Amino acid sequence: MEWMQILALIAGGMMLFAIWPMYKNWRANPVEAQPGDWSTAVFLLGLVLLFVLLLIWSVQ
């Protein structure tokens, strides 16, 4: 293994160590979806799609 791969593994382990307490909290207290959540998610996905299409059209 090269030193960059070793550093990447160490960084990944540190991220998992930092995220673990919040993960346990989310598992114990899940967030329930509200009635307007899906429309907001679809709107945001539509904005991302339009942005990607704008990028594609700009390079043609």
- Distance (Å, whole) CA 3 – CA 19: 24
**DSSP element (H, E) containing 13:** helix 3-28
What is the mean pLDDT of each successive set of 10 residues along the chain, which is 60 residues long? 94 96 92 86 96 95
Name the token pair of 27.
């598992």
- Distance (Å, whole) CA 53 – CA 9: 35
Q: What is the pLDDT of residue 17?
A: 95
Q: What is the pTM of this model?
A: 0.50
Residue 22 identity (one-letter amino acid): M
What is the total residue count of the chain? 60
Q: What is the pLDDT of residue 32?
A: 86
- Cα dihedral across residues 17, 24, 37, 41: positive or negative: positive
